[in-house]
Every structure is written in C-alpha cells, then in structure tokens.
Amino acid sequence: MRKVFWIILLLVLIYFARPLWEEKASEYVDLGFLDKFDATVEQVANGPTVSEALEQAKQLTGEISGQLQSFVSESSAEMPDAVEKPDLAETESLFAVHNVTLGMAKEEAQAKVGLPLRLMRNEYGADWHSYHQNYQNYVLLSYDQNGKVNGMFTNQDLISSTKGLSMDSNKAEVRAALGIPLKSLQKGNVQYILDTREEYDVFKIDSIYVTVFYDIHEQDTVTALQVVTEDLEKQRKKIYAAPDAELKEGFEFLLFELTNSARIQRELPLLKWDEAARATARKHSEDMAENRYFSHTNLAGKSPFDRMKDDGITFFVAGENLAYGQYSSIFAHEGLMNSMGHRENIVKPDFGYLGIGAAFNSDNQPYFTANFFNR
C-alpha cells in the first residue's frame, strides 16, 4: 500500500508541475499518452471511492510504464554478435588493410574480406566497396579498370605495415616513420593548401598517397587510414569533386556507415537508416548550400526539432550534426569525431535511427546534415 501511495503522490506532483515542463518536453516527446492521466485525475476529482482511485492509479501507472518502455524498445537495435578479428599477417607493402594491399586482384582481396555490402561513389569518380560483418572488420576498397585494388580505408584495428605502425601509434610516431606531411596538393595548375588543423596528415610516398587521421581526444592516436594510388588521386581533378546524384547518395550512405563503424567499436547498438530523416536532412543541407550559411537554425528560425516535426517525424530524443567543406564523408566523419559535441551524438546510446542528407554549393563544397533520433 505504501508503494502505491508514493506512486500516486509522484504522479500528482508531475501532473501539477506540467506547466513548468510540458512545452519544452513536447519538443522531444509525444505527450499524447498523458491524456489518460488527465481523464483519471478528472474522475478522481468527481468523487470515486479511495479503493477505486487506487485501482485507477495502479492501472494508469502500468500504462504509462508500458508507454515509456515502448519508447526504448521499439527502435533500439540489439547489439550484434561479436565477430572475430582476422589474423594480420606480415606485409611487404608499406600498408596492408585486412591483409589486402594495393595492386591486389579483386578476387584475391575478396577472398580475404568477403563480398561487398554496398557500393558508394566517392570523390575520385570511383566506388568504395564496403566490406564488414555488422560494421565489424570494416574496410573500404576501390578497384581500377583492371580489377586491381587502387584504394583502401579502415577506421578499425586492421592495419599492418612495414613501418610497424598500427591503430595504437600516435602522430609523432607516424611522422617519425613516414616523414614530413604534405602542406598542399597540386591539382592541375592550382596548388591547394591543406587545412589539416593537426587532425590528419597526408604523405606522398613513392606512387601512393597515405592519409592518417588522428583522435585529438585520445592523445593523437591513429583513428583511421586511407591509402590510394597516385593514378586514383589524379582522377580527382580539383580539390572538390564535381557533384552529381550518385556522389550525393554515396556521401550520405558512407557517413552513415562510418557512424555505425564508430559505434560498434564502442559496443553501442547500431543505428537504423531512416528515409524520412534523410529527406529532412537533405532539405537543410540544400538550404545551407544555396543560401551560404551554416547553422542548426534555418533562415526561418526553425530548429532541427522543428524541422523534423514539420516532416512528420515523431521522436522522444533527437540530435543533429552538421559538417561543411570537407573533401569527403571520411574527412567529415573524422572531423565530427574530433568535435566533442558532435562526437557525443555519434556515440549516444539513446539514438536508434539516423538519416543523412548532403548537398553542394556552387564551389562544389559539400554540406552534411545528420539527424539522429529515437521514437
């Protein structure tokens, strides 16, 4: 009886405090289930017996508890079973990723990594072939017209190197092994200064370009590695790729995959792709690109939560990440991970869904909007 009394008292306090929190909470939570609470309070006020009131309160408590539980259970993905990491063999190449090296035939590479789960257009005018098992052992590979590997990427502990570098290496060790990083890239007759902000290094070693990304929140340890041939790099005629529908979609799905790859490494549930959220995100990216601004609040004064609600997306928790001006989704993701506020969204356990929308301004610079939520 005492427990029921305290439950009733708590519900009454919540009810009479509603003016203080209801408007703000409604931005994040559908409060329709509280209509039953209003009805019960009205019935109690009209004079039921004490026993009837207690029974109604117990019933209402169960309904509200079930409603709140459904918020958590409806969309939260379960953690997939752990997948064993491959044994990394010694390599004679500067770098190997999942025991794959540049120049390896596609058939040999896929014997090591399996079949691709998605192809995504990249800034080189080629496709990243995505290989993973529920985002574990995550690898991207690109192939030339002869079916030879000409590009590799991973943000997981799948690196072997003749230089002894790994994901445990830090920036100082990388630079000691690979030399002085590039300060610029030549594209045609234009020299582009690399604005690395000390978050990544680009090295030109013989006929390959190596980009090493660092985690500034973890003592500048290596967080990802991209290796591409000189021929593939030359396919990117300018620092920003010419956009089209395939590149837009490729950027969107790749940023989604990288987000889940980061989550699975932290033993967090995987996010589900949401088309409605992508539509909302795309509209915001297109608005920013067209009107040359960069903000979570659009020119009409609407927040991410306003925009999602306007598009019929229901949620009890939501968040938004924005990125602008990076060369690709890889650079965008690594930049977001180095920004603590954005990083918190990427690794927030409460989120269950994600939609990403990309757009390009007249200078071909990409804008990324990522809308996270759970319902």
**Could you report the per-residue pLDDT of 163-216, keeping only the tens digit for each?**
999 999 999 999 999 999 999 999 999 999 999 999 999 999 999 999 999 999
86 belongs to a structural domain: no
DSSP string, 298-341: -TT---HHHHHHHTT---SEEEEEEEES-SSHHHHHHHHHTSHH
- Considering the domain architecture, whether residues 218 and 259 belong to the same structural domain is answered as no
- pLDDT bin (cut points 50, 70, 90) of residue 15 is low
5 with 70, same domain: the answer is: yes
Is 62 part of a structural domain of the chain? yes
Q: CB neighbours (10 Å) of residue 259?
A: 26
pLDDT band at 64 (very low <50, low <70, confident <90, very high): very low
Q: How far apart are CA 205 and CA 96, in angstroms?
A: 15
Please indicate, yes or no, whether residues 113 and 228 belong to a single structural domain of this protein.
yes
CA 160 to chain centre: 26
Q: Residue 315: which pLDDT band, with cuts at 50, 70 and 90? A: very high
In this predicted structure, the answer to whether residue 76 has a pLDDT above a threshold of 90 is no
Total number of domains constituting the chain? 3
Q: Are residues 110 and 183 in the same domain?
A: yes
User: CA 139: distance to chain centroid?
Assistant: 16
- Note the pTM of the prediction, 2 decimals: 0.81
- 114 plus 180 within the same structural domain: yes
- Give Cα separations from 325 to 58, 142, 240, 254, 332 (angstroms): 55, 23, 9, 16, 8
In the structure encoding, which two tokens stand for residue 179, read together? 């030399």
The range of the structural domain enclosing residue 1 comes to 1-75
Residue 330 sits in the same domain as residue 356 = yes
Phi, psi of 281 (to 5 degrees): -65, -40
Q: Is 69 in the same domain as 116?
A: no
213 and 138 part of one domain: yes
Nearest to 140 by CA among 102, 132, 240: 132
Q: Are 125 and 228 in the same domain?
A: yes
Per-residue confidence (pLDDT) for residue 14, from 0 to 100 = 57
How does pLDDT run across 251-291, given as a tens digit for each residue? 999 999 999 999 999 999 999 999 999 999 999 999 999 99
Q: Are 143 and 107 contacting, i.e. CB atoms less than 8 angstroms apart?
A: no
Of 65 and 113, the structure prediction assigns the larger pLDDT to 113
CA distances from 337 to 94, 156, 166, 314 (A): 27, 14, 19, 27
Residue 309 confidence (pLDDT): 97
Looking at per-residue confidence, does 120 or 11 come out higher? Answer: 120
The continuous run of DSSP H or E covering 202 comes out as strand 200-205
pLDDT above 90 for 11: no
Q: Which of 222, 239, 256 is the last residue of a domain?
A: 239
Domain boundary pick from 239, 262, 287: 239
224-241, pLDDT tens digit by residue?
999 999 999 999 999 999
